[in-house]
Amino acid sequence: MSLKIKNICCIGAGYVGGPSMAVFADKLPNIKINVLDLNKERIAAWNNEDLEKLPIYEPGLSKLVEKNRNKNLFFSSDLEKNISEADMIFISVNTPTKTSGLGAGQASDLRWVESCTRAVAKYAKNHTIVIEKSTIPVKTAELIKNLLDSYIKKEQKYAKVHKSFSILSNPEFLAEGNAINDLEFPDRILIGGEDIESVDSLKILYEHWVPTEKIICTNLWSSELSKLAANAFLAQRISSINSISAICESTGASIDEVSLAIGADTRIGNKFISSSPGFGGSCFKKDILNLIYLCDFNSLFEVSKYWQNVLTINEWQKKRVSKLIVEKLFGTLYEKKIGVLGFAFKANTNDTRESPAIDIVADLIVEKAQVAIYDPKVQKESINMELNNNLQNFKNSKNDYLQDSKLGEWACYEEIDDVFKNADAIVILTEWDEFKTIDWNNASNLMRYPAWVFDTRSIINEKEVKESGLNLWVLGKSL
């Protein structure tokens, strides 16, 4: 048995909600999909005629929006109307790490989940399936259920209530930059829930484009924990390969060759073992912190320490890169221009959340460098916001003596050649395709000598860089 779903809404028009619902709308043309957000500017950007101005850059997304927008895909700030008409509601709001109070620095801040659940409780009519899609701590479904039940209880005091809810967990596994492909051809779909009718209703929707054998149904808590565990495992692979990258640099081994050799073992597999300046993105750190919080709460201190080390290596890798740049440039960056290529946390996205570029560039600014930044998709407002926040933490944490000392500066450029002009070093931090084909001869002519190239993604043509007269350092190699 399943319910007939005619109207879906998704609360949260961000990196998860927007692309997920664009694919839902495309695959389910007979269902009306409303993507809701309190942020009116974001909704206006989703409704912008100019598809270049969508709030999120994701390959293939603008085509889907163009095809389905205002047919069965709508973006709106009207929560009341759209929630009241929905048979199924996805919760896809932000769940960052708490910055103050109980669990600060580890637990997720659930204020946005709570506020949108309250909106659902207030405006929903009849029976509504409420689905957690954002990454959330284990047991969040309980919080959602409690809130929804308490609203019904209160309303029942005054009149007969004709509303009911069932709660499912359906975590999203898309990776930014590849979101549309991940959504159209997922490795698996995970649905957690106790109410079989609701589970089936969601499963039937996915079966329009996902083979049944790829749809895994579990209890609520397994589903919630699997999302955290999957991200923790992926992050752990990156910390593992990054730890090996440091050993390569001191032994003469090459990280590319080691990755190739270990990845050929089918038990290990060749995906997710590229060394990098550290993992970023909104999920990995947050989810591991969640796991750590859960472990500590349950007195599983050894397990908690194990996962903490994945984060420790990630922080260390970022520091290692900035320290090495300073060392190679004679121990000081004072009045030196450092060109930074890439600020997004990975290629093919304009997202900067937790990007390793933030900490690395901030370290260079603390060393008084003049940093020139170029990223093909990230807006300068995002870069300014991330660096201002980061350096504010630095200023707050330092003693008076250091507070007085002047920091370096940064500027964002739209032309890559402006970054090369008079630069003492170029640091590649994101693996954008266009950085793979840079004309290093031209760059070398524009730079100030002795000039360095630091490639933290191992993407450039080493021979060409060296032949152009530039000094080269590649992460995970001893050149």
- Closest CB 113 distance from ligand UDX, rounded Å: 17
Which of ligand ADP, ligand UDX, none does 249 bind, CB closer than 5 to 8 A by kind?
Answer: none
Single-letter code of the amino acid located at 303:
V
Count CA atoms closer than 13 A to 86's CA, side-chain side.
Answer: 29
- Closest CB 182 distance from ligand UDX, rounded Å: 7
Q: Report the residue from 87, 132, 176, 386 that binds ligand UDX according to the rule CB under 6 A.
A: 176
Q: What are the backbone angles phi and psi of residue 335, rounded to the nearest 5°?
A: 60, 25
Nearest to 227 by CA among 170, 306, 272, 185: 170
Buried b (16+ CB within 10 A) or exposed e, 73-89: bbbbeebeebbbbbbbb
Which of ligand ADP, ligand UDX, none does 151 bind, CB closer than 5 to 8 A by kind?
Answer: none
The answer to the question of residue 244 lying near ligand UDX (CB under 6 A) is no
Structure tokens at 150: 């308490």
Which of ligand ADP, ligand UDX, none does 11 bind, CB closer than 5 to 8 A by kind?
Answer: ligand ADP
- Closest CB 355 distance from ligand UDX, rounded Å: 7
The answer to the question of residue 90 lying near ligand UDX (CB under 6 A) is no
Which of ligand ADP, ligand UDX, none does 58 bind, CB closer than 5 to 8 A by kind?
Answer: none
For ligand ADP, give the closer residue by CB, 17 or 277: 17
Single-letter code of the amino acid located at 308:
Q
Residues 329-348 that bind ligand UDX (CB under 6 A): 345-346
Taking a C-beta distance cutoff of 8 angstroms, is the pair 282, 97 a contact?
no
- Helices and strands (H, E) in the chain, number of each type: 18, 14
Taking a C-beta distance cutoff of 8 angstroms, is the pair 371, 201 a contact?
no
Q: Which residue is nearest to ligand ADP (CB)?
A: 14
Q: Which residues are catalytic?
A: 283
- Closest CB 140 distance from ligand ADP, rounded Å: 14
Which of ligand UDX, ligand ADP, none does 13 bind, CB closer than 5 to 8 A by kind?
Answer: ligand ADP
Residues 223-242 that bind ligand UDX (CB under 6 A): 231, 234, 238
The answer to the question of residue 314 lying near ligand UDX (CB under 6 A) is no
Taking a C-beta distance cutoff of 8 angstroms, is the pair 331, 322 a contact?
no
Q: What span, in angstroms and rounded, lies between the C-alpha atoms of 55 and 58?
A: 10
The answer to the question of residue 201 lying near ligand UDX (CB under 6 A) is no
Nearest to 78 by CA among 24, 32, 40, 126: 40
The answer to the question of residue 274 lying near ligand UDX (CB under 6 A) is yes
Q: What span, in angstroms and rounded, lies between the C-alpha atoms of 192 and 190?
A: 7
Partnered with residue 452 across adjacent β-strands are 425, 471
- Closest CB 226 distance from ligand UDX, rounded Å: 11
Q: Which residues here bind ligand ADP, judged by CB under 6 A?
A: 11-17, 36-39, 42, 92-94, 112, 115-116, 134, 282
Q: Calculate the CA dihedral of residues 289, 295, 300, 306 and round it to 10 degrees.
A: -30
> Which residues contribute to the site for ligand UDX (CB under 6 A)?
172-176, 231, 234, 238, 272-274, 276, 279-281, 283-284, 345-346
